[in-house]
């Protein structure tokens, strides 16, 4: 088998596969190394994540023919996002901060963004990747280590093979081993909380509205899902943040007990509820790599910037990072590992991601503090923002990347 490529990408997640499509369009021969078996790419399992996609991301997915793979019911327009603070749901709902869909330059009302499940996006990306002759996907293999000389990089697989390329791209997730192995550290913000995500069916219609509720002692979000339950009810994705032990207890509870517990936490906000999916859990750790490059080596996706999900930007940044890398390579002299263009990529991607990474961590920290002063500050900032239309428009534009 050929072991000489222009670019080797470590990781066949959403970021790695997107990058493969971009590099293929530039005319490069690309290998993607993925440790999971091929079935995990052909039919990725539901993992609870409903990704809010910005307009920029949607434009990219359309340009690369990924968007047409989604069924209509798998794409949910986000018409409004409400933010609530405080324990009493009824009181919090009267003092909410609300972002509506926006007027676009063409005078049409555009949704804030669209929600598509992560496993659906991964499947669609892989279906497109498979059509490209110049992309080779090697599954079930662990990328052990990489290194570089001035003219060439190499990467060793766990089966003893050595791959040669002009550029290695690490897209192996937020706890990236490839990053550490090349001596690149990362700032890690451990929120000491875990997340549980699952789909609920409910009797109250969601009207394509997402709600982020900073309760006391817990944070809940419900995101509208276009697909209906078997009995025709609306469905939402629940995102619950609690201490790790509490999340573990809820994840392993019998389903009827879980539904009762969640119903109490929701205070009737979705009406009567039922559990209609598996429950998935994640540790809440945000990660920002000290550098996004080394010799003939670049970091993209969560390996570069692993966001707290509250501002819904992890994949959006992952897509943007690989797009920036591809643009810099396209502007170069033909060598994708040229140090100057990797430096330019790093500067541009840091500029794109650092402000929102810092703001997201600050919001997530302030809005999970329940001291009386913090609660007052939380409510006051929401009220201030609600009464400031220019500020709301600015935030909506940043988050939806219009
Ligand atoms: C609850 C939740 C909600 C979210 N909501 C949003 C949202 O609304 N909007 C948004 O934009 N983002 C959201 N995100 C973030 C988004 O899911 C991630 O940013 C994105 O999936 C990361 O993709 P990735 O390809 O960088 O990493 P990963 O998905 O982690 O993929 C890494 C891949 O590399 C492979 N791999 C690892 N090590 C090796 C190795 N040594 N050799 C070979 N292969 C390897 C892994 O098997 C994996 O397939 C959310 C995340 C969570 C947890």
Can you give the CATH number for the domain in which 319 is found? 3.50.50.60
Strand partners, 10: 33, 170
pLDDT in tens, 109-162: 689 999 999 999 999 999 999 999 999 999 999 999 999 998 999 999 999 999
- pLDDT at residue 327, rounded to an integer: 98
Q: What is the mean pLDDT of residues 298-308?
A: 98
CA of 89 to the centre of ligand 1 (A): 32
Interval 240-267 mean pLDDT: 97
164-207 confidence digits (pLDDT tens): 999 999 999 999 999 999 999 999 999 999 999 999 999 999 99
Task: Note the maximum CA span of the chain.
Answer: 64
Ligand 1 contact via 113 beta carbon (within 6 Å): no
Q: Does residue 142 sit within a domain?
A: yes
Ligand 1 in contact with 321 (CB < 6 A)?
no
User: Locate tokens 């650092």: which residue?
Assistant: 354
Question: For ligand 1, is residue 167 a contact (CB within 6 Å)?
Answer: no
Q: Is 111 helix (H, G, I), strand (E, B) or coil?
A: coil
Q: Which atom of ligand 1 is nearest to the CA of 195?
A: 1
179 lines ligand 1 (CB under 6 A): no
Q: How many whole angstroms from 292 Cα to the centroid of ligand 1?
A: 17
Residue 356 included in any domain = yes
User: Which residue from 202, 274, 196 is spatially nearest to 240, judged by alpha carbons?
Assistant: 196
pLDDT score recorded for residue 60: 98
Residue 213 belongs to some domain of the structure: no
Measured in Å, residue 150 CA sits from the centre of ligand 1 at: 31
**Tokens of residue 338, six digits:** 């040229």
Q: Range of 293's domain?
A: 7-67+116-188+286-362
Predicted local confidence at residue 96, as pLDDT: 79
pLDDT greater at residue 379 or residue 350: 350
Residue 76 predicted with pLDDT over 60: yes
* Alpha helices (runs of H) in 215-367, residue ranges in sequence order: 244-252, 255-266, 314-331, 339-366
Q: pLDDT category, 376, cuts 50, 70, 90? A: confident
- Whether residue 38 has its Cβ less than 6 Å from ligand 1: no
Is residue 237 in contact with ligand 1, taking CB distance under 6 Å? no
Q: Tell whether the model's pLDDT for residue 303 goes beyond 70.
A: yes
C-alpha span between 261 and 351 (Å, rounded): 43
Residue 346 has pLDDT above 80, yes or no: yes
What's the gap in Å between 12 CA and the centre of ligand 1? Answer: 9
Residue positions counted in the chain: 402
Q: Looking at the domain assignment, is residue 44 inside a domain?
A: yes
Cα(15) to centroid(ligand 1), Å? 7
Task: Return d(Cα 361, Cα 363) in angstroms, integer.
Answer: 6
pLDDT at 85 over 90: no
| Model pLDDT for residues 88-105, shown as the tens digit of each residue | 877 777 677 888 876 555
Q: What is the 3-state secondary structure (H, E, C) of 184-213?
A: CCEEEEEEEEEEEEEEEEECCCCCCEEEEE
- State the pLDDT at residue 105: 52
Q: Which two tokens stand for residue 317?
A: 């940044």
Query: What local confidence, expressed as pLDDT, does residue 385 receive?
Result: 80
> At a CB cut-off of 8 Å and minimum separation 6, what does 232 contact?
none
Question: Is it the case that residue 393 has pLDDT exceeding 90?
Answer: no
How many A from CA of 372 to the centre of ligand 1? 36
Alpha carbon distance 132, 24 (integer Å): 7
User: Per-residue confidence at 319, pLDDT binned at 50, 70, 90?
Assistant: very high
Q: Residue 170 domain-assigned?
A: yes
Does residue 312 line the site of ligand 1, with CB under 6 A? Answer: yes
Count CA atoms closer than 13 A to 28's CA, side-chain side: 26
pLDDT digits (tens, 9 = 90+) for 5-51: 999 999 999 999 999 999 999 999 999 999 999 999 999 999 999 99
User: In the block, which residue shows the tokens 């040669």?
Assistant: 164
Residue 92 domain-assigned (yes or no) = no
Ligand 1 lined by 35 (C-beta under 6 Å): yes
- Point out the ligand 1 atom lying closest to the alpha carbon of residue 142: 42
For the chain, how many structural domains are there in total? 1
Question: How many angstroms is it from 100 CA to the middle of ligand 1?
Answer: 28
Helix (H, G, I), strand (E, B) or coil at 119: helix
131: number of Cβ within 10 Å: 10
In a domain, 108, yes or no: no
Does residue 173 lie within any of the structural domains?
A: yes
**Pocket perturbation via mutation, ligand 1, pick of 48, 118, 157, 223 by most ligand atoms within 8 A of CB:** 118
Report the distance separating Cα 299 and Cα 305, nearest Å. 9
Mean pLDDT, to the nearest integer, of 360-366? 88
pLDDT band at 108 (very low <50, low <70, confident <90, very high): low
Out of 139, 314, 325, mutate this one to test ligand 1's pocket (max ligand atoms within 8 Å of CB): namely 314
At residue 240, the pLDDT reads 97
Which pLDDT value is given to residue 106?
Answer: 53
Of 289, 298, 307, the closest CA to residue 23 belongs to 298
pLDDT band with cut points at 50, 70 and 90 for residue 366:
confident
Read off the pLDDT of residues 218-244 as tens digits, 9 standing for 90 and up: 999 999 999 999 999 999 999 999 999
Q: How many helices (H) and strands (E) does the chain have?
A: 12, 23
To test the pocket of ligand 1, the residue of 12, 13, 155, 400 to mutate (highest count of ligand atoms within 8 Å of its CB) is 13
3-state secondary structure 14-66: HHHHHHHHHHHHCCCCEEEEECCCHHHHHCCCCCCCEEEECHHHHHHHHHCCC
Ligand 1 proximity of 171 Cβ (cutoff 6 Å): yes
What is the distance between the terminal CA atoms of the chain, rounded to a whole angstrom? 44
Strands 7-10 and 167-170, by their bridges, are: parallel
Question: Residue 372 pLDDT more than 90?
Answer: no
What's phi and psi for 218, nearest 5 deg?
Answer: -155, 155
**Is the CB of 57 inside a 6 Å radius of any atom of ligand 1?**
no
């Amino acid at each position: 088998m050929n072991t000489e490529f222009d670019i080797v990408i470590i990781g066949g997640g959403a970021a790695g596969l997107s990058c493969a499509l971009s590099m293929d369009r530039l005319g490069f021969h690309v290998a993607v190394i993925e440790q999971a078996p091929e079935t995990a790419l052909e039919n990725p399992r539901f993992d609870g994540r409903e990704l809010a996609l910005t307009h920029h991301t949607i434009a990219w997915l359309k340009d690369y023919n990924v968007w047409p793979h989604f069924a209509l019911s798998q794409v949910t327009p986000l018409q409004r996002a409400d933010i609530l603070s405080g324990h009493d749901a009824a009181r919090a709902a009267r003092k909410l901060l609300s972002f509506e869909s926006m007027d676009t330059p063409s005078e049409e009302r555009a949704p804030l963004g669209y929600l598509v499940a992560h496993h659906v996006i991964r499947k669609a990306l892989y279906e497109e990747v498979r059509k490209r002759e110049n992309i080779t996907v090697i599954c079930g293999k662990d990328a052990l280590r990489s290194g570089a000389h001035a003219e060439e990089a190499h990467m060793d697989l766990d089966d003893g093979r050595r791959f040669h390329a002009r550029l290695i791209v690490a897209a192996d997730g937020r706890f990236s081993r490839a990053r550490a192995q090349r001596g690149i550290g990362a700032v890690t913000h451990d929120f000491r909380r875990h997340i549980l995500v699952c789909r609920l069916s409910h009797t109250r219609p969601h009207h394509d509205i997402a709600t982020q509720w900073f309760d006391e002692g817990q944070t809940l979000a419900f995101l509208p899902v276009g697909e209906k339950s078997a009995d025709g009810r609306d469905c939402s994705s629940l995102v619950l943040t609690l201490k790790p032990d509490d999340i573990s207890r809820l994840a392993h509870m019998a389903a009827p007990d879980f539904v009762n517990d969640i119903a109490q936490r929701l205070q009737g906000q979705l009406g009567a509820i039922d559990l209609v999916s598996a429950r998935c859990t994640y540790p809440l750790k945000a990660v920002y790599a000290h550098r996004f490059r080394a010799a003939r080596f670049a970091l993209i996706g969560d390996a570069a910037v692993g966001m707290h999900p509250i501002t819904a930007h992890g994949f959006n940044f992952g897509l943007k990072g690989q797009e920036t890398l591809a643009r810099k390579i396209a502007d170069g002299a033909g060598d994708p590992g040229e140090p100057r263009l990797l430096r330019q990529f790093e500067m541009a991607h840091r500029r794109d991601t650092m402000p929102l990474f810092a703001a997201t961590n600050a919001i997530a920290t302030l809005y999970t503090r329940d001291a009386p002063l913090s609660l007052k500050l939380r409510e006051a900032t929401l009220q201030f923002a609600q009464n400031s239309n220019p500020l709301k428009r600015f935030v909506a534009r940043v988050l939806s990347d219009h």
